[in-house]
């Protein structure tokens, strides 16, 4: 029976019960997931390499886009290999310690996305609203500090929460999800007030506040550009609209994660599976596509790359 202490592996096994009709759709799941992962790797690596190679893209705006693509790669690589193994296995299980590590990575990279999007909105605000001070404010040191904080702060915040959750006693050993996210909290014998309050603090500080900050900066940008010439308005639209599209999609995905955790027992199994897959796919795959198509300078280099490959 899974969920008991096993002397051979020295760990508690948790069964991932969120898959639908594994015996029937096992290989279809694998082909779909593998295809999606390859697309995520190709699209994000293309964006990163183009920004790395071309010197005219060595600007804060494009560096933050490359960082967002790198974060998507790390997020996907932390989750997809285990999914490949699960869909090809007869039993979808994970050791409790590995589950907690996956939980830590899942939310650390997720929070990093919000902070990177906040840094990008600040960069656009300074560029459009304070163009004369842009080189001074958004220097190399500022970019390095913002990138460091975007990856370091989420890890520091998630470590104590993950440690506390890992020490909670389990009364159930079968989660209704396909990975270790907030659904594992349903396995605890007692609902922890600390986890609830700490989770609320993290959500407010690293999700709600960044979203409010991003919306505030873009409202300021649109107010200022509204009174400017058509060329300035066009530049603002070209650089800001892709960021807002990404923010909207990512916010919806985070809402899915909350809904899955809160309404787990009320959602049909297939609905939970579809919502979880959307979290795994949309942001990592659509971000580079949005930036690749909507950002004029990146799109120009992508067309040049395709032209070289064809010829």
pLDDT, position 8: 37
End-to-end Cα spacing for the chain: 59
What sign does the CA torsion over 79, 80, 85, 89 have?
positive
Cα(29)–Cα(122) distance, integer angstroms:
40
Q: Cα dist. 258→209, 233, 253, 254, 263 in Å?
A: 17, 36, 9, 6, 8
* Residue 223 belongs to domain spanning: 5-310
CB 64 within 8 A of CB 116: yes
pLDDT, position 3: 44
pLDDT tens track, the chain, 311 positions = 334 444 333 458 898 888 888 888 889 989 999 999 999 999 999 999 999 998 888 999 999 999 999 999 999 999 999 999 999 988 889 999 999 999 999 999 989 998 999 999 999 889 888 888 999 999 999 999 999 999 999 999 999 999 999 888 888 888 888 889 888 888 888 888 888 888 888 888 888 899 899 989 988 888 888 777 777 777 777 777 888 888 888 888 787 777 776 665 567 888 888 888 888 888 898 888 888 777 778 878 787 777 777 76
pLDDT, position 47: 92
Q: Cα dist. 130→133, 134, 222 in Å?
A: 6, 6, 13
Residue 144 DSSP symbol: H
pLDDT, position 11: 57
Cα(289)–Cα(283) distance, integer angstroms:
10
The 3-state DSSP class for residue 91 equals coil
Domain CATH number, residue 197:
1.20.1070.10
pLDDT, position 213: 93
pLDDT, position 43: 92
Residue 13 DSSP symbol: E
The structural domain count of the chain equals 1
Residue 184 DSSP symbol: G
């Amino acid at each position: 029976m899974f969920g008991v202490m096993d002397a051979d592996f020295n760990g508690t096994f948790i069964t991932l019960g969120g898959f639908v009709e594994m015996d029937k759709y096992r290989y279809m799941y694998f082909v779909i997931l593998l295809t999606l992962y390859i697309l995520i790797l190709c699209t994000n690596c293309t964006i990163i390499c183009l920004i790395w190679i071309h010197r005219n893209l060595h600007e804060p705006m494009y560096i933050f886009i490359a960082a967002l693509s790198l974060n998507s790669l790390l997020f996907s690589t932390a989750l997809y290999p285990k999914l490949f193994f699960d869909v090809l296995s007869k039993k979808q299980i994970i050791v409790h310690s590995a589950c907690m590590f996956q939980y830590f990575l899942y939310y650390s990279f997720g929070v990093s996305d919000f902070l990177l999007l906040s840094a990008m909105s600040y960069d656009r605000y300074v560029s459009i609203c304070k163009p004369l001070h842009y080189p001074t404010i958004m220097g190399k040191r500022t970019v390095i500090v913002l990138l460091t904080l975007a990856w370091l702060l989420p890890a520091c915040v998630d470590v104590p929460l993950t440690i506390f959750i890992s020490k909670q006693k389990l009364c159930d050993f079968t989660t209704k999800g396909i990975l270790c996210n907030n659904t594992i909290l349903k396995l605890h014998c007692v609902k922890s007030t600390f986890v609830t309050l700490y989770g609320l603090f993290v959500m407010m500080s690293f999700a709600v506040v960044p979203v409010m900050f991003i919306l505030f900066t873009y409202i300021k940008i649109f107010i200022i550009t509204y009174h400017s010439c058509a060329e300035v308005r066009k530049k603002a639209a070209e650089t800001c609209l892709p960021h807002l599209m990404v923010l909207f999609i990512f916010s919806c995905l985070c809402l899915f994660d909350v809904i899955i955790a809160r309404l787990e027992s009320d959602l049909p199994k297939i609905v939970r599976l579809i919502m979880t897959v959307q979290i795994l796919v949309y942001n990592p795959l659509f971000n580079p596509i949005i930036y690749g198509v909507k950002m004029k300078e990146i799109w120009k280099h992508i067309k040049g790359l395709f032209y070289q490959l064809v010829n």
